[in-house]
Structure 1
């Protein structure tokens, strides 16, 4: 089977953007290819675009933002049929392709040329402009009168009703098969007037259980300089105020201020550095930066007693799953796809979105209860082993590809 994975990038976000899936297909003997807007690695089976396409894409992104015609202007997808990977493909699988890699008006053009599978990593296909509408319900009726134009992807003028109608016009003229990483996003697709007519299959994310394995917790803590009597909390610190709000950092900081300090607490921070100066002296802070090496990430997750994810919205959060694979319980917001992943109160806890006091109390309870925390961590690992092994993840995709090809045989 020849499958073309399409995404914005290959290496950045490779855990969920199709690149790992692409490699697994090749390992199983399939003649697979990948097409990306920005090629960061040197894998010859991954095709990029000429150098001039990058500046064009960035210029179009700015133009779409200023004109508020988000996702409508890019012509880049017109070049796809000329690419060797597309011409040879039996089936094309889209991942992170919007809003300006494959523009909305050109989606029917591509989907009409090859059987197409589309993994929806967020609700953008169901809305006028935003990636996560949160509490807004206007996506059900056509958007317009948008309450938050600055929410990703930002538009300057309220063209959200126009953008919603543009998606409806395009999506009515195309047939794709959706992959939903969570039941939550699948239910959102089924409720959407824009994409409810497409078949949708839930395929939870997968992890290589040989790489994401249980490590010796004392050894991992020792490597980071965390003493046995201390407690350790891990979380992600994204860049930029908008991203930090979307990941719940303001509530997380407020919860940290409310934690007791009877015993030492260490903070293990992924990604951005320099945002926790106010806590120096109160906690010991380990800022790890952007880690790409899985062994180091697994070591950090294992060293933590808890992983906190108080995000506004997540579909199937990869970092929560990785922490669970390392036997670390997760505390997350009670919204979108997070409760489904955490399985509260089995492998962690969920708290009301934006409730810093509830987050602080849940964190304190688990930090003070070694037995409950250990039981949750063991159950978290069991869930990952039972439902999120990477071989099973690849098997599910191959079965879906075969069913799509069988269904579309002779129709193109």
Structure 2
């Protein structure tokens, strides 16, 4: 079985990380998998780059321009919307021709257009599409944030000026997606049970198959380590209790730094002794922009691309906090747990599927800085660190190992190929 994984980038973003890990998991479990990307960032032999890079760049710019016009020349929401009106035709590439299964992941920002996906479907090759967010089941948005129009038909979009209209951009793209899927079948896979449940309610995906398979993680890379050694490597305080926050961009409002700030301020007020013995490590771009808000000593680590160094960050911490306002199945919680680190996050999306409350972490009430503080306090001062660490490792082994996830995807591939085989 030959599988072609298609993603916009090789390494940048959570979907890229998950797709690359799946590539490794499949190749380690008897499947010949390759990855086709718009942006290649390594010399990995199993990763190919879509040719005509200038075309990809112009696709991206053209789509942004079209969206900018629809937004009445405002930058707000410019990168929260994708319409897939420009992209590359990959059906003529050798990587496509030799594949038995085409496995789409995050293919936005000029990589594939809706017409390009239609050509893939019309090729007759079985298509699997892993949903890293809700975009495949909506018209233009990646996060619904309470909007339920996708359950009937997208229009009056909240992201468009004036709340959109009956025939706005979302309505137009909804019809184009309907045409793309007309008479075709895609095996959709959501990374969490929560997202699968949302996708099954989409009127756009009526009649399509939607299953749920988590992302895999390598327990050879993400693993327990010596906390003191990790802290020395990162120049972090040896004896403090360290709270870790991770985001590609620390100032992204959706990642909830404001709630971590509120929780830390509450803890500092209730437990003054914590001020002297607690620190916050912030991994991600613009980390230095948020440290002044925190009552504890803070260490902006900046953006780190070296995976071994990222592992050291998890190994150095005592609790990982992810107060996101919207999440699918965050890779970061999985990474933390694989390093034996308990996580605290809100009851949203797939987070409660990863965190077993007060066993391997703490699930806080949504948007509650108060309960987030309770979770941090539980992890640092009330939980048995040995038992919690073991629970983290057990969950990763049971649910997210390469072998387990690869087996589940192989079953999806085999099911997707059956109708094709029968026709032949």
Question: Normalising to structure 1: TM-score of the pair?
Answer: 0.89
Judge conservation of contact 1:107–1:174 (CA < 8 Å) in 2: no
Distance 1:335 1:176 in 2: 27
Match of 2:298 among 273, 285, 288: 285
Match of 1:141 among 141, 152, 165: 152
2:409 alignment counterpart: 397
**Mapping of 1:4-403 within 5 angstroms?**
4-13=4-13, 16-26=17-27, 30-45=31-46, 46-68=48-70, 70-74=82-86, 76-77=87-88, 79-98=89-108, 100-113=110-123, 114-149=125-160, 158-227=168-237, 229-239=239-249, 244-260=252-268, 261-263=272-274, 264-272=277-285, 273-279=287-293, 282-369=295-382, 371-403=383-415
RMSD: 2.6
Distance 2:388 2:18 in 1: 29
Judge conservation of contact 2:190–2:212 (CA < 8 Å) in 1: yes
1:3 alignment counterpart: 3
Distance 1:299 1:262 in 2: 27
Give a deviation string over 1:41-63, Cα, whole Å, max 9, x none.
22344132213223212222223
Residues 6/15 of structure 1: CA separation in 2 closer, same or farther (3 Å cut) = closer
Residues 391/184 of structure 1: CA separation in 2 closer, same or farther (3 Å cut) = same
Q: Secondary structure at the match of 1:106?
A: helix
Distance 2:126 2:389 in 1: 41
Residues 319/30 of structure 1: CA separation in 2 closer, same or farther (3 Å cut) = same
Q: Secondary structure at the match of 2:203?
A: coil
Distance 1:24 1:380 in 2: 21
Distance 2:152 2:22 in 1: 35
> Shift of the alpha carbon at 1:285?
2.1
Q: Secondary structure at the match of 1:81?
A: coil
Bigger mean CA offset, 400-409 vs 326-335: 400-409
Judge conservation of contact 1:347–1:380 (CA < 8 Å) in 2: yes
Judge conservation of contact 2:327–2:349 (CA < 8 Å) in 1: yes
Judge conservation of contact 1:128–1:139 (CA < 8 Å) in 2: yes
> Shift of the alpha carbon at 1:8?
0.4
Distance 1:80 1:4 in 2: 11
Judge conservation of contact 2:135–2:143 (CA < 8 Å) in 1: yes
Q: Secondary structure at the match of 2:141?
A: coil
> Shift of the alpha carbon at 1:15?
5.8
1:409 alignment counterpart: 421
Judge conservation of contact 2:222–2:335 (CA < 8 Å) in 1: yes
Residues 10/223 of structure 1: CA separation in 2 closer, same or farther (3 Å cut) = closer
Q: Secondary structure at the match of 2:289?
A: coil
Gaps of 5+ in 2: 71-80
Judge conservation of contact 2:84–2:108 (CA < 8 Å) in 1: no
Residues 378/277 of structure 1: CA separation in 2 closer, same or farther (3 Å cut) = same
Judge conservation of contact 1:185–1:337 (CA < 8 Å) in 2: yes
Judge conservation of contact 1:238–1:247 (CA < 8 Å) in 2: no
Distance 1:17 1:326 in 2: 17
Distance 2:175 2:68 in 1: 19
Q: How many residues align?
A: 402
Distance 2:53 2:16 in 1: 25
Question: Normalising to structure 2: TM-score of the pair?
Answer: 0.87
Judge conservation of contact 1:37–1:54 (CA < 8 Å) in 2: yes
